[in-house]
């Protein structure tokens, strides 16, 4: 399969199908989405319908983020949900959150699984990563990037 820099591709990963762009020549294929495992294999070049599906998925992710945040508030969980990510085939959604210490999110897991009709995974990240994803400003006045 002929792949060039900038091509849109559909990949198979251990977590399901994903989409991405070729950012280097295929010898050292790197994907534009950090969640995608580097052992992903290219299934095919992306089509116009794949691109439209990806655009619709981006809108759905925003709705899922709002739902996850509201359900977490309802359940009075002390966690800050900062991102959601659907796999391209919508077989699972990954919810990224920050919290001080451990959080029992099993009730939220059940509710989201029922509402979204897919497998739900939670990933806890550190405070600095939460602030980065939230778009916070560092001491220097720029977008937070310091370690």
| pLDDT value of residue 126 | 85
Q: What is the DSSP string of 104-133?
A: --HHHHHHHHHHHTSEEEEEEE-HHHHHHH
Query: Quick one: pLDDT at residue 14?
Result: 84
Look at residue 114 and tell me if it is in a domain. yes
Give domain status of residue 147, yes or no.
no
30/60 same-domain check: no
Question: Quick check: pTM over 0.85?
Answer: no
Range of the domain at 103: 56-134
- Tell which residue, 15, 33, 1, has the closest CA to residue 90: 15
Number of domains in the chain: 2
Q: Do 63 and 123 lie in a common domain?
A: yes
Q: Report d(CA 9, CA 54) in Å as an integer.
A: 11
Same domain flag for 63 and 128? yes
- The reply to whether 18 falls in a domain is yes
Is residue 30 domain-shared with residue 99, that is, in the same domain?
no
Residues 65, 124 within the same domain: yes
In-domain check, residue 60 = yes
Say whether both 33 and 90 belong to one domain.
no
pLDDT in single tens digits along all 147 residues of the chain: 788 888 889 988 888 888 888 887 756 555 555 554 457 788 899 999 998 998 899 889 999 999 999 999 999 999 999 999 999 989 999 999 999 889 999 999 999 999 999 999 999 998 777 777 766 666 777 666 655
Torsion of CA 94, 95, 96, 97, to 10 degrees: -160
Same domain, 79 and 125: yes
Phi-psi region of 12 (alpha: psi -120 to 50; beta: other; left: phi over 0): beta
């Amino acid at each position: 399969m002929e792949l060039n820099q900038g091509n849109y591709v559909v990949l198979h990963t251990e977590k399901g199908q994903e989409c991405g762009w070729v950012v280097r020549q295929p010898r050292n294929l790197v994907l534009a989405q950090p969640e995608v495992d580097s052992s992903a294999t290219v299934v095919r070049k992306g089509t116009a319908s794949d691109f439209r599906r990806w655009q619709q998925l981006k809108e759905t992710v925003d709705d899922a983020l709002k739902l996850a945040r509201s359900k977490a508030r309802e359940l009075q969980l002390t966690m800050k949900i900062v991102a959601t990510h659907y796999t391209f085939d919508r077989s699972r959604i990954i919810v990224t959150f920050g919290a001080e210490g451990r959080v029992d999110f099993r009730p939220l897991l059940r509710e989201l699984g029922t509402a979204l009709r897919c497998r739900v995974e939670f990933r806890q990240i550190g405070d600095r990563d939460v602030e980065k994803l939230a778009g916070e400003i560092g001491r220097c006045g720029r977008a937070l990037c310091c370690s």
